[in-house]
Amino acid sequence: MVGRAVRFPGFFLIALWSGISGQAQSDSAAHTLPLVVIAAVPGARTGFSVWQADSLPQADVLALADRLLWEMPIGVRANAPGTLATVSARGAGPARTAVLWQGLNLQSPMNGVVDVSLIPLWPDDQVEIQYGGQSAAQSTGAMGGAVRISPNILEDVAGWYTQAGIGIGSFGRRDAQVSTGYAGARLRTLVRAGGGQARNDFPFRNTARIGAPMERQVNNFGEKLDFQQFNHLKINEKNTLETAVWHQRVFRETPPAMTEAAAETWQCDRATRAVATWTNQRSARTQWQHRAAWLDEYIAFRSISDTDTSRSRTALLASEFVTVPTRRIALRASGTAWYQQARADGYADSTAWFSQIRLAGTFAAEYRRRQIHLTAQLRQEWAERQGAPFTSVLGAQWAASSALTVRLHWSRNFNLPTFNDRFWRTLGNPDIRPESGHSADAGVIWKRGGFALETSIFHLLLDDWILWQPGPDGLFQPGNLRRVWSRGVECSGQGDGYFWRSRWRLKGRYQFVRATNAAVYGGNAGVLHKLLPYTPEHSAGASLVWAHGAWSAAYLHQWTGARFGNADNSQRLPGFHTGNLLLRYAAVFGRHRIGLSIRLENCWDTPYQVIAFRPMPGRAWRVGIEWGRRQVVAKK
């Protein structure tokens, strides 16, 4: 059963508090598990431009979409709070920007995108964006860049750990989270759950109607529940086993656009993701790593009186061998196999599973000599009934001085057609070609003391761009219709200091991206040399973080320049500024920590739209309280 009938009971926020009980605190000293690593392994980041999220004064579970919108390190396309939001790196588009959790690519095999409004971030999770094509390392879907999420599995804890928090906020928002775990000499284990709901009935000015009247958003209720469990087991001195499971259930109403009448539309999402990794440290110079993963995703979408369902399943097996024959050279070889299935009401046979087998082999090498670091990686992939091109990547870094580093990167990339592109009823094209292209960038990094500056230039060319557009009969069909060229400049800076008895950090980032249609193979030739929709040429973000004793605060400001809402650039959306203010007080009483956090979002009450005729909320607030109990030890 789908729809309101699958909504979670109203007491689920309280239930999160009672899921774990009767835990004992370890009085004896326990040691954090040493990770199995090799001193030098092929550097996947060599030559790339990388953005890493700082820790912020907030203790609640946050959607990845909100975290990225606060600082704008990557293009975010959000329809409304809690509804569909996607990311686009360097103008490549959502289907060409990978999002990885625990190393698993979360891009849907059905449509190629990831809804980042559904991805939860716990306060200690690490978020990193790696810009540039990565098909040789990540396979299909990573042509513009990748967002990497790495959960923190109690790496700074010994003994038992427990944390819980609740919060309330504007527009009917309520949320809660609880986590508990144990870290000992051989085992680290963590269980955490988070959930929330909101009416999202914010007021807005409807500029699509005569007189631009004030209205209140309707049909925008949503609720979500996430459960995650992690284990890290040191079997012996040479073998380590890691597992991770993530189960999610979401119900969301779909609000109407400014130009639409209200209707009962909603979407239910259900997903289970699991991965197990066995690492065998054969010697100080060699390592085997084997991985198995399972992803199962289900969506039910209700529009007017019809409900469409879809489901995809992916099984993955991978094995990687790493060796360091000399102190200057490291080598890696790996093989990966996927078995993917999908079923949808819109496919040629809505009762049948459409499937695909994919195989890939990679070889990588790294060379280090004094201030020079070089990497190369080759990949050949085979996809059933499709041709996957040979791909490669080259990276170089040179430490010209103690303060100055120069980096270079080049890669050849590809993107396989999705199941929807190939199997949609009467409209899919089984013979559609993979997208292909290459990317390159160069950068200079200057660091001295607590200050750092980085400047990069980049070039990205994507050919056989897959696009759905109407044919002579007016029905949308996919085709390899364009070549897209994206180029631009990125600048970032950071300064750290200690004065007025406080710690300060100031960061800023600016990006210029010009993504245009360099060639048009079919359809409307009037879009030639036009900017891609919803890809601003200018965007920037800045943050100021302050900490003094138990107090901490941050102000995050982002600016998005003007964009166009259609392919021929006739619909222009104005740029906008937004600011977010975070304040937290955390007091420690022995092994207990009590915290209070306050957040003011869009604190300047800016009216804006990320997507045309999809209003975003004005000023909003959230207040939360948290409790934690842990025994802190020094990080490794």
What does the pLDDT look like over 480-508, one tens digit per residue?
999 999 999 999 999 999 998 999 999 99
Instruction: Please state, in angstroms and rounded to a whole number, the distance separating the CA atoms of residues 450 and 238.
Output: 39
pLDDT at 575: 96
pLDDT at 26: 35
Condensed to tens digits (0 to 9), the pLDDT of residues 187-229 reads: 999 999 999 999 999 999 999 999 999 999 999 999 999 999 9
For the record, the structure tokens of 438 come out as: 């290459």
CB 64 within 8 A of CB 86: no
Radius of gyration of the chain (CA): 24
Condensed to tens digits (0 to 9), the pLDDT of residues 588-635 reads: 988 899 999 999 999 999 999 999 999 999 999 999 999 999 765 544
pLDDT at 524: 79
Task: Tell which CATH classification among 1.10.1370.20, 3.40.50.10580, 3.40.1260.20, 2.40.170.20 matches the domain 3-20+42-629.
Answer: 2.40.170.20
Low-confidence ranges of the chain (pLDDT < 50): 1-42, 634-636
pLDDT at 339: 98
Write the DSSP symbol of residue 533: T
pLDDT at 632: 54
pTM: 0.91
Instruction: Please state, in angstroms and rounded to a whole number, the distance separating the CA atoms of residues 90 and 132.
Output: 8
Residue 106 CB neighbour total at 10 angstroms: 23
Q: Which residues contact 216 (CB under 8 A, 6 or more apart)?
A: 201, 202, 203, 204
Percent of residues, the chain, with pLDDT higher than 90: 80
CB 600 within 8 A of CB 59: no
Q: Tell me whether residue 473 is exposed, middle or buried, using C-beta atoms within 10 angstroms of its C-beta: 0 to 12, 13 to 18, 19 or more.
A: exposed
pLDDT at 30: 34
